[in-house]
Amino acid sequence: MSVPPIPGVSSPTPRLHGMDRLRHFWQRVSEGRQIDDLWSQFASDARSSYGFYGRDVDWEEIQKLPRWRRPLHIARQFFWALLLKMSPARRVLLLVAFVMLALSVIDSQMNFTGIAVMLFVLLLSLELADKVTMKRDLEIAREIQTWLVPSQPPEVAGANIAFATRPQNSVAGDYYDAFYPNAEDREKVMVVIADVAGKSVPAALLMATLQASLRTIAGENAPLAELVARLNRYACAHSLNGLRFTTAVLSEYNPTSRRLTYVNAGHNAPILRHANGAIETLEVGGMPLGIQPATNFETAALELKSGDALIFFTDGVVEAFNESGEEFGNERWLSAIRNLPDWDAQQSLQFLMKHVDEFVGVTRQSDDITCLVFRSK
């Protein structure tokens, strides 16, 4: 039996419906994130933007000024840094909007606030449209880039491999690879890590050319020293007179003899943690690829024994920083490697990257982070 409405008392249903709609709206806007998470993300974005625009600020000049004058000069230089990154037409619109807003504040009879707000919203929509378009293009580039690196490590007798990368942007300049140059010859597997100078699209394009060159030369069964020399000559031809150089560690592993031969071309030295806990670094080689065509590269060799773990990484690992700007550093990285349990490559990789992740938190990084673990059984 239905209960008739009581005169003068409104039904609670519409109010609950309105709350549901408000809750649904908030879920769409926040994507279900908690307030703390949203604030952390905003703080990370703010620090990243501050660093981006702060590169155009003449801090030395500002330090010479009296303290009371510094905030105004910093604000002015930040404003110009923002303004000059826009197209000329948008700069004019932004200035017009600010002038209208200022006139509205100075003289209440000149109320241009509504027009100023509309101009700000128009500029925001234009900039957002550019960002969305660029993001879509970068996502396509990122998808293409994933084709250039292995999705799964190759099976290696007596060993296993794992790798992970976190691009600073949608596309990365870091490169890692593990492959058999000759599919029918299982006596030589190439293990490579590289870092192209620069970031984002330019570095990603050079990474793609490096991958293609390496695969081509390695497929010709060239000795490692010759492979690196040829790769260096090709890199020099496309490095803008050494401005776009590449650091890399290129190695060959023979599963039968457990012998690893390598060349370190100016890269962060891979760390070999022996089963007994001793640490060894792989530093033999030469300067980065793409600087001097006639560079001589030295090779070195070592024997991997059961339980040894060889860690390849890029500088983004040790240079990762937290919200206070403190770097993860070599000491923390070495400590994590020393404490590495006797696990397989994938578990070892997760153990190491967890240490980095816990240190940086949600802080947006300024470089790609890549790590490759080669574990001898």
Tens of pLDDT along 17-70? 777 788 878 888 877 778 877 777 777 777 778 777 888 888 888 888 888 988
pTM: 0.73
**Based on C-alpha coordinates, what's the Rg of the chain?**
28
CA neighbor of 370 nearest in space, from 232, 218, 244, 247: 247
Amino acid occupying residue 291: I
**Interstrand relation of 285-286 and 259-265 (parallel, antiparallel or unpaired):** parallel
Residues in a beta bridge with 259: 254, 303
Q: Is the pLDDT score of 140 beyond 60?
A: yes
Distance CA 143, CA 64 (A): 48
The mean pLDDT value of the chain amounts to: 86
What is the pLDDT, as a whole number, of residue 41?
Answer: 74
The pLDDT tens digits for 192-202 are 999 988 766 77
What average pLDDT does range 285-290 have in this prediction? 94
Residue of higher predicted confidence among 140 and 181: 181
The pLDDT tens digits for 78-126 are 889 888 888 999 999 999 998 898 888 887 777 888 888 999 999 989 8
What is the pLDDT, as a whole number, of residue 172?
Answer: 65
Both structure tokens of 155:
């099976």
Q: Is the pLDDT score of 9 beyond 80?
A: no
The pLDDT tens digits for 364-376 are 787 889 999 999 9
